[in-house]
Amino acid sequence: MRSARITLRTVIEPKRCTNCILRTKMVSIFKHPQVLAFTSELKCILNKQRQSFERASRTILTMITLTLAALALILLVAFLVKELWRPANYPPGPRWLPIVGNTPLIRRMASQHGGLLANVFDKLSESYQSSVIGLKLGRERVVVGLEYDEVKDILCNEAFQGRPDNFFIRLRTLGTRLGITCTDGSFWNEQRSFVTRHLRQVGYGRQAMHEQIQFFSDRTVGRVGHPCGATALARIDPRAQRHQRAVDDRDWLSSGPRR
């Protein structure tokens, strides 16, 4: 048994010695002056390559940042020009702000003149010496006509019969833009004919309704400037409460004047 161990040891010992010799030779090779010079030069080259790569990366990143900033600036300028641009032959009116338009101005003037838009438009008409005022409320351009001729032209000209197509209209109609007050074009003409045809069955456009409208108009004009007491309000309230019945009752609509 002992002899076997000695034999095995004698077999392994030469291999260990060989490995030690190889390691010693490798260490001596790496410590050779030429090898050290080569590795030092290689490190310098790698450091220079790394530094040049970092500089190129910073340059590219700077160029990308400047390009994006310039693009954002161009888009911002284009947006402001589009928001502040006043169309040719647009009616006179105050300058508007981006996004909000003339809304802050109208709110401020309304608070100064009793909260009525009619008073605000009258003041603007006096300021710009024009019966037609061009405004922008939010993102929508608005033209206000104050004189009889302008109002008649707006109400009778088919060019002014369109309806706005914006976010709130789409939200109100669940994205369909349908209904009598939210649509225009041929569909609106069809709906208008349908409603007018059925309203005529309850007296719309007939002499009886004309007389009734004239009667109440004269009474209303006659009451302008006179105080309205509690008894008058009490007489008005029941009629206001019967508004729904008035719409549904065909006989009530065509019954003529009542005193």
State the maximum Cα–Cα separation within the chain, in Å, rounded to a whole number: 143
Given this model, what pLDDT does residue 132 score? 92
For 208-225, what is the mean pLDDT? 81
Name the burial class of residue 254, with classes exposed (0-12), middle (13-18) and buried (19+) by CB atoms within 10 angstroms of its CB: middle
Of 20-24, 48-52, 72-76, 242-246, the range with the highest mean pLDDT is 72-76
Look at residue 245 and tell me whether its pLDDT is greater than 50. Answer: no
Query: pLDDT band at 121, cuts 50/70/90?
Result: very high
What are the angstrom distances between the C-alpha of 188 and each of 106, 172, 191? 31, 17, 5
Nearest to 215 by CA among 258, 174, 255, 183: 258
For the chain, what percent of residues have pLDDT higher than 90? Answer: 22
For the chain, which residues make up each domain, given as ranges?
13-85, 91-160, 201-259
pLDDT digits (tens, 9 = 90+) for 161-207: 888 888 888 888 888 888 777 888 888 888 888 888 888 887 777 77
Handedness of CA 177, 181, 186, 187 (dihedral sign): positive
pLDDT digits (tens, 9 = 90+) for 48-61: 888 888 888 889 99
Looking at residue 182, what DSSP letter applies?
A: T
* Measured distance CA(226)–CA(127) in Å, rounded: 32
Query: pLDDT band at 76, cuts 50/70/90?
Result: very high
Report how far Cα 211 is from the mean position of its chain's Cα atoms: 47
Q: Which residues pair with 101 in a beta bridge?
A: 97, 137
